[in-house]
């Protein structure tokens, strides 16, 4: 069951992807952790879809199969599981970017 916060994030990402002229060149960052983990710590603007619902969640926001999707979680394990599921579903530009600290460092978001 999708909660209202997740639904709001999905709608926001759907609008951003479909109405942005650069949508095909943009990277979509997806946090695959649980809602409880996300509530404690998250990166503003990133979508959250649990790793065990990743294919349906990405389908719900209508991302193209060649969209650039970067996944992360706490350590990278669940992001790896989600990456394999998306690849099996035909998504071709999916990467596991590791854990929260890896992503913050790579994006220059170290606090």
Q: Which residues are catalytic?
A: 73
The rounded radius of gyration (Å) of the Cα atoms in the chain is 13
Contact 17, 66 (CB under 8 A): no
Integer angstrom CA distances of residue 90 from 58, 59, 63: 12, 11, 12
Is residue 81 left, alpha or beta, with left meaning phi > 0 and alpha meaning psi from -120 to 50?
alpha
Contacts of 99 (CB under 8 A, 6+ apart): 72, 73, 74, 75, 76
């Amino acid at each position: 069951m999708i909660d209202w916060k997740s639904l709001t994030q999905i709608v926001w990402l759907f609008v951003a992807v479909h109405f942005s002229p650069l949508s095909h060149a943009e990277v979509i960052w997806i946090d695959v952790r649980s809602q409880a983990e996300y509530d404690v710590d998250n990166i503003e603007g990133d979508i959250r879809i649990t790793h065990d619902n990743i294919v349906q969640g990405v389908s719900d926001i209508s991302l193209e199969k060649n969209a650039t999707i970067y996944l992360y979680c706490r350590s990278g394990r669940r992001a790896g599981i989600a990456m394999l599921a998306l690849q099996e579903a035909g998504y071709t530009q999916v990467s596991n970017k590791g854990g929260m600290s890896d992503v913050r460092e790579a994006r220059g978001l170290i606090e």
